[in-house]
Every structure is written in structure tokens, then in C-alpha cells.
Amino acid sequence: MLNVAVAQQDDEDRECTDDKEITIFYVNGVLNTRSQALISLAELKSRYKAHYKRRYGEDEVDKLQFRLAYNHTSGVVDDIERVFAFHDSQQSQTIRHLDAGVWRSLREVVNYGQSEGITKLREQQFNALNQALSDLSTHLNFYQKEYTEGRKVLIVAHSEGNFFANFAHEALDGLIQDSTKIVAVATPAAVVHGNLGAYTTFRQDQVINYFRELLVVDRPLPANLDICGERTDFLGGTTFATLGHGFVEDYMFCDGSRNQIFRDMDNSLAVANQPPELARDSIITVTLTWGDQPDVDLHVYEPSGWHVFYANPVGPLGGLDVDDTDKRGPEHYYASCQTLQPGTFRVGVNYFHGFEPEQATLIVQAGQLIRRFVVDLPSARGSGGDTTPIIACNIIVEGSQEDGFKFSIEAVEETLERRLPAPVEVRTQPKSTR
């Protein structure tokens, strides 16, 4: 089975650079479509790059890159319930801490009508929670990839995105945590993970204030700044963005909040450790991880058909610079700007050695586009699988060195059964040489 998650692509695809040292992720809040989240990312990127250039200079701003760590919206009811569920999990509290009357009213809205309707709603909520867990896993893979390639990570989280950021940070290895910092904006959480605990919340943020009033314990962090100008009252029939809660309309709009957020970002980057470059940063990278089984291999076919894998690690356009034979990974492929050519890269995996079903995760980056693929691996295939790896995706490169490049990443719907040759001699011992 192949599962896919998409990050974002913007207008910098044609810029071919291999020298980024810092990745800034924006994590959106509730009720944001991908398009809306990308607007917030673009606003953060434009404004912070201008600030960073003024403060540190042109050479330093060129070391920054910006990504979206998107969490999907599932509609008003599911998004709101998910916030309460996250609060419950993160703060080790339960929803019983809500005022009984308020919770009863909320549940009357949620548990509507007949049993058939309730069953359907519960199925929707279950699917929404699964989507949230999938999003969180994707974010975690993104942050781990950046560490592997030697970059600091700064997570700028808005609203519910702070729960995603805190959960991910807590799950990271200690060394990765030291290189990953969080700046919180309009946070409903009672804590900001990381050393600084930096956050900005308006006293007039009516969404956070309403959430705070619903809770008896572990309420959101105290508001620490006044909003600029006037904002319409919560009951005045206004849109969500005018409640003193919008990332672009309020927190980036006001000079005071924007400056405080940027100051927190500067300070967080200053204390974040620059990790060692375990794998090469490049315009195209593929990172493979898996679970506790001994050995899963990364395979990449370059546009010429050249097969890059453990036995043939260097190709005309790139190479396998990290290879792992002792469970979990990572394995890592890169194609550099200096050698990049148009064409199609085919990315696949082979379950070489192990004793139980395994699951492989691929983080594929091409330009500003990132996609995550999860491939189920029922059984080890040994060296027989080296010539027929399971192809998860194609990276399509258009353009030229002179005019720049455009990228796309397409999933390949191939199952193990369709690709498995018969018969296959399965090797049961690890590879003796790498």
C-alpha cells in the first residue's frame, strides 16, 4: 500500500541552490485549506526575509529556506474537537475539565439526531483523527530530514499548529531537539516546547480567550501583547480573521506583534545548534527510513536509466551518500545543481533483509516541493529484489541549467504483487559488503 502526503511548491522552483543552512517551517491552525496556509507561509517568508536581510545581510538571508508543515482541516466540528483532544493528550488532562454546562452544550451540537447520524459522525471524527496523526508523522519526518542534511529547523506555529509542533518536538531525538526550536503564535497550548518557550498571543485574541474560558485547568499561556487598532467583537457577526486571531490579518499586520515574533525567531535561531551534515543537501534529495527490521534499501533510477543503489552508489547526476544496514535508516540520495539534467528520476525501495513485515517511509524533495510516501513491505526479498525494487514515485525535472528547473513528483501506483518476479531467490543474511 502506498500513502502520500504533500507539502508545498512555490515560485522558487527554478532557483537551483545547495547551500541552505536553516529551514523555517510554518504550521497552520484550524480551518485552513492548503491554499490559505500557503498564503500565510508566503507572508511570513516575505516579511521575515526582509527583516533578516536588514539585520544580517544578503549573504545570510540566502541561507534561509521556508517550508509548509500542513495539517488538514476536517470541518468546524472535527477541528474543534481535535483541539480539545490535543489539549487532553498534551497536558495529560481530560475533557472532564471543561465546565460541565459548556461541554454538555457542545456535545448537543456534536451528537445530533438519530443513531445513524451519530455513527456517521463518529466515522468522520475517526477519519479526521487519523488524518491528524498522519500529518504529525509527516511533520516529524520533515524535521528529521532537515537534521540529516545539516540544517537548523525553526517551527513557527499558529493556533492549533502549536499542538502539532509540541508533539513533534517531544518525539524528536535529543540531538535533533537541540537543533529544532519553536516560536508560537496565538497558541492554545499551556507550554511551548524547546529552550526559549517563545510565544506571542494578543490579549484581544477572542478565539484563544474563548478557548481559555472553556477550560478549568492547563489553560493557554497568558496573553502577552495588545493588538493594534480596533477589532470587531466576537458576537458581531464577523469573520474568523477579524477576531484578533488571524496570522496574516492580525499577527503579521501589527508592527508590535510582527516585531516580537521576528525577535523570537532571531533568538531561537541563535541558540539552535547547527547539526553536522550527515547527508548532502541538494536540489533533489530522497531520504529513506524504516522500522526495526535490519535492512531496507533505497533505489533511484536517474533519467539515463543509471541505477543508483548500495552496489552502485554513484551515478552521473548524483549518488547514495548514506547507506544503513542496521535498522531504521536513514539512507539518502542526492542530485546536485551542478550536474542536474531534465528527465525523470524513478524512486523505489527493496526490503533486503528482515524477518517480519516492514514499512518504509520516503521523504522526497525536489526544489520547493516535498512529498512523503509510506510503502508497506510484506516480506524480505533479498538480492532478488535489487533488479525489481518497488517504485514509489517519479521525480520529473523540466528546464535547463541556463533557464532554471521546474519539478513535479508523481506517485506510482504499483503493488508488490505486480512487481514481484517468480521465482525469487531470497537472501536471508545481511549484505557482507557495502
The pLDDT tens digits along the chain (434 residues) read 555 544 444 444 445 666 789 999 999 999 999 999 999 999 999 999 999 999 999 999 999 999 999 999 988 877 887 887 777 765 443 333 334 444 344 444 444 444 454 455 556 666 667 788 889 889 998 999 999 999 999 999 999 999 999 999 988 988 899 999 999 999 999 999 987 889 999 999 999 999 999 887 889 999 999 999 765 544 444 444 468 999 999 999 999 999 999 999 999 999 999 999 888 889 999 999 999 999 999 999 999 999 999 999 999 999 999 988 777 889 999 998 889 999 999 999 999 999 999 999 999 999 889 999 999 999 999 999 999 999 999 999 999 888 889 999 999 965 333 333 333 333 334 454 44
Neighbour tally for 424: CB within 10 Å? 13
Packing angle, helices 161-171 and 115-148, rounded to 10: 50
Classify residue 248 by its DSSP letter.
I
> What's the one-letter identity of residue 319?
G
| 53 within 8 A of 262, measured Cβ to Cβ | no
- List, as one string, the DSSP characters of 109-139: HHS-SSHHHHHHHHHHHHHHHHHHHHHHHHH
pTM: 0.77
Dihedral angle over CA of 407, 149, 138, 87, nearest 10: -140
Contact yes or no for 382/351 (Cβ under 8 A): no
The residues of the chain that CATH labels 2.60.60 are 284-419
> Are residues 207 and 180 in contact, defined by beta-carbon separation less than 8 angstroms?
no
Element (H, E) at 323: none
Q: Name the maximum alpha-carbon separation found in the chain.
A: 73
- For the chain, residues classed under CATH 3.40.50.1820 are 19-271
Region 284-419: CATH code? 2.60.60
Supply 176's cell numbers: 535533533
Please report which helix (H) or strand (E) contains residue 25, including its range.
strand 22-27
CA distance 307 to 325: 19
CATH 3.40.50.1820 fits domain 19-271 = yes
From residue 210, alpha-carbon distances to 122, 227, 243, 319, 421 in Å are 25, 16, 11, 53, 60
Q: What is residue 353's three-state secondary structure?
A: strand
